[in-house]
Amino acid sequence: MSVQIHPKAASSSQMGWRRADQRAGWLFISPAFLILFIFLVIPFLMAVFFSFTDQRLIPNPNLPTSFVGLRNFERMLGDETLHHALINNFLFALIVVPTQTAFALFLATLINQRLRGVNVFRTIYFSPVVTAMAVIAIVWSFLYNPGEGLINAFIGAVSLGQWGPYSWLSDTRLALPAIMLMSIWQGVGFQMVIYLAGLQDIPEQLYEAAQIDGANRWQQFVGVTLPQLRNTTIFIMIATTILSFRLFDQVEVMTQGGPEDATMTTVLHIVNEGFRTLRIGYASAISVVFFLIVLAISILQRVVLTEEG
């Protein structure tokens, strides 16, 4: 004896299950939303409010916080240190993002081959990413040492003593490129792993069809691999750009923004203004403007890369 279920009853049951799934989904993600709201949204709204005041880190009962309007934003126009920091951030992103992305794709293509011991190379390339940046910065500071550093010793040996030694971190022309080199080495493993996942998701049938059409390895790479990795590349470039503008740890450890603001970054300048000179109001104004700059660049970058694809 078969039992027939009325279509309306089945539809009502399915709607009930969907509502239950939605409630369960919201319940599971609510802790993450709460953490984001407490540690991201609320601090940003506080920064927007403080940017219009002369708030100090340590309040003074004799000098209460007052509303100053756009004075903090006007002050940024004449802040030479901030101008140097923004230029350094843009230079860093302009060089590091495409270089690191191209190098990551190259490494991912290499270790995507079916070779013996390839997992060892994956671990080696990715290990700097999981190492604390402060530790890496200290190690590279020793490598850049003009007297006993390994890099100067290598350059001197290769050039038979004709080149070097160079003061990598105290020369205004070399300090920022030195930090760029270290940052590319440290972060390339992150992009490599993402590219590797994208490469392994490309259907083999596409390469087989290209081989049947007579395409060589380079033509397969240009005609199959790169188009299939378009979304992966967009994500990597946007994420790397944001990380580039967050440049702080290695600069703080290796140069503290010197020499002569040659490696000063916006985040370091914000920290200096807010926690070392105690001007929270002015640091908040810089933070708000810097957030808007990075947001605009990220949106523009996504639009341009999507249209090119």
| Contact predicate 251/179, CB 8 Å | yes
163/118 same-domain check:
yes
Residues contacting 228, CB < 8 A, separation 6+: 198, 201, 202, 206
| Whole-structure pTM value | 0.86
12/100 same-domain check:
no
46/84 same-domain check:
no
168/88 same-domain check:
yes
88/235 same-domain check:
yes
Domain count, the chain: 2
Q: Domain containing 12: what range?
A: 1-50
The residue type at 109: T
63 domain-assigned: no
pLDDT for residue 89: 95
Confidence band of 8 (pLDDT split at 50, 70, 90): low
Residue 115 has pLDDT above 90, yes or no: no
The Cα–Cα gap between 57 and 66 comes to: 14
185/256 same-domain check:
yes
pLDDT for residue 4: 53
Query: In this structure, what CATH number is given to the domain that contains residue 214?
Result: 1.10.3720.10
Instruction: Give the mean pLDDT of 218-231.
Output: 90
Q: What is the pLDDT of residues 242-292, one digit of tens each?
A: 989 999 999 999 999 989 999 999 999 999 999 999 999 999 999 999 999
In terms of Cα–Cα distance, which of 126, 56, 88 is closest to 278?
56
149/210 same-domain check:
yes
121 domain-assigned: yes
Q: What is the pLDDT of residues 179-190, one digit of tens each?
A: 999 999 999 999
Residue 125 has pLDDT above 80, yes or no: yes
Confidence band of 61 (pLDDT split at 50, 70, 90): confident
61 domain-assigned: no
258 domain-assigned: yes
Residue 11 has pLDDT above 80, yes or no: no
125 domain-assigned: yes
What's the DSSP call for residue 4? P
43 domain-assigned: yes
64 domain-assigned: no
300 domain-assigned: yes
pLDDT for residue 1: 47
265/125 same-domain check:
yes
Q: What is the pLDDT of residues 21-45, one digit of tens each?
A: 788 888 888 999 899 999 989 999 9
